[in-house]
Amino acid sequence: MDVPLQHASAAVLKRMKRGGGAGVFSRSIEKMRRAIPDLTLRTSFIVGFPGETEKDFAELCDFVRETQFDWMGTFSYSDQEGASAYPLEKKIPPIEFERRRKHLMEIQRQISKKKKKQLVGRKLDLLLEGVSGETDLLLEGRTPMHAPEIDGKVFVNDFPPELTPRPGEFYRCEITEAHDYDLVARILEPLS
């Protein structure tokens, strides 16, 4: 499920003309996770929005640590003439919002690494997309938890000798390795 929350600080969200905050979001996410076992949760945040204080940013970092998103993107605020945020005061210097973006993504990298390691040994369905863009020695695909062109990849480095994997086909695979954002798998069998 993709839920673009944008921020966790109620003060920043108010300046963005959005509602909510960390408490409301946490309760909603908790309900979703209880109702949908194995829910994959993706979100995106904006850092450096005009007026974002260190306290607001710390609240966002704490929220990300507590919530443990499966996938997360972080974007730096970009001043666009004509946008409703353009005339707002208290602009954050670009060097500062880039520092914040990198810090938040480092928090998420650690979360992602831990979550991906928990998948090692698990059997999942895989849509094979073809030869990897990284190297022609690997195949790549995605599982139901991977959005195309957004999330990490599943690299396939092994399959039964009698099988000729075909792009566009579904296979049962076993996760054999985990990296910060990507997984490595071996194909077990085609799905009928």
Q: pLDDT in tens for each of the 192 residues of the chain?
A: 999 999 999 999 998 999 899 999 999 999 999 999 889 999 999 999 999 999 999 999 999 999 999 999 999 888 777 667 665 678 888 899 899 999 999 999 999 999 999 999 999 999 999 999 888 899 999 999 998 878 889 999 999 999 999 999 999 999 999 999 999 999 999 997
What is the CATH number that goes with domain 10-117?
3.30.750.200
Model pLDDT, residue 190: 96
Model pLDDT, residue 168: 95
User: Is the CB of residue 63 less than 8 Å from the CB of residue 8?
Assistant: yes
pTM for this model (two decimals): 0.88
Could you tell me which residues come within 8 angstroms of residue 189 by beta carbon, excluding any fewer than 6 positions away? 160, 163, 171, 172
The reply to whether 10-117 and 123-190 are identical in fold is no
- In the chain, domain spans: 10-117, 123-190
* Cα 114 from Cα 152, distance rounded (Å): 14
Count CA within 13 A, CB hemisphere, residue 56.
Answer: 22
Model pLDDT, residue 85: 62
Q: What is the largest CA-CA distance in the chain?
A: 65
CATH 2.40.50.140 fits 123-190, yes or no: yes
User: Is the CB of residue 164 less than 8 Å from the CB of residue 191?
Assistant: no
